Structure 1
Amino acid sequence: MAALRLLFCCFVLLTPSLAQETPYIPQTIELDLVFPRNDTYAPIDYFPLILGLQNAKAAWPQGVKIAWKLERLDTDTTLQEGFFPPHEPQYYARDDYHTRGEAPSDPFIYYHFPFVLRNFTSGHWRYSWQFGFAQN
């Protein structure tokens, strides 16, 4: 009986800490375009495209997946495509690439420097992305 009481006390003490580990679901998760905004910018050697993932702590364990496309609208050029996470072994699970474990930061900032935006002079561009989860 004393052992049962001790187990019950341990369970009661652990319950609040377990509740803090698991994020409350549902939660609001946002993927925002941080830079560039709809504006005109001076040409630079490496032009960044930056996305911000808000509430990454809740999103990351669900397997974040981002696919993006960049196309120039005023000329006939090749469509640029990319993805996050990169195709590296630490992101590979169940025949797919996605995030696992804990988020490295919250918010999480994803940036890339597409080759087509290197040393360009001017143009009109469309940047689009898809955002989803490997598991819901």
Structure 2
Amino acid sequence: MKSKTISKGFVIAGLMNMSVLVFSRFFTNPVIPEFDPMVMSNFGLLMIVIWGLAYISVAKNYQDIKWLVGVFAIEKFIYGYIWINWMSHNSIADVYDKDLFSGLFYSVYGINDWIFFFFFSFVFIRLMGSKNSS
């Protein structure tokens, strides 16, 4: 995978996180926090946006921050795991019954996190194996 393609991956990961602004209607949608008040509170949603900004901010120099890329992979793993746990203990239909955007959010956020867990893991492993790895 080319460096330019990887940089685009960081930007896409950031934009996907920032899509929380659409699903949450800029933090005015009460349904997302209602169904997972611990992780998806408005503060939690704001922190997802901040993580997205972090991904975008390193898109051009990810090669210099391999350990932070590893942190990104861990963060995505945690959100992916939380999503699987949430999906196994909750009814997505209940969310859709209350709000389409919230239902869509809960349907896809974990898939997004697993995709970018694998992306960040791939980049981290690649950086760890590079010649100037220190």
Interval of TM-score (by shorter of Structure 1 and Structure 2):
under 0.3
Query: Max radius of gyration: which structure?
Result: 1
**Which one has a larger percent helix, Structure 1 or Structure 2?**
2
> Scaled by the length of structure 2, what TM-score is found?
0.25
> Scaled by the length of structure 1, what TM-score is found?
0.24
**Which one has a larger percent strand, Structure 1 or Structure 2?**
1
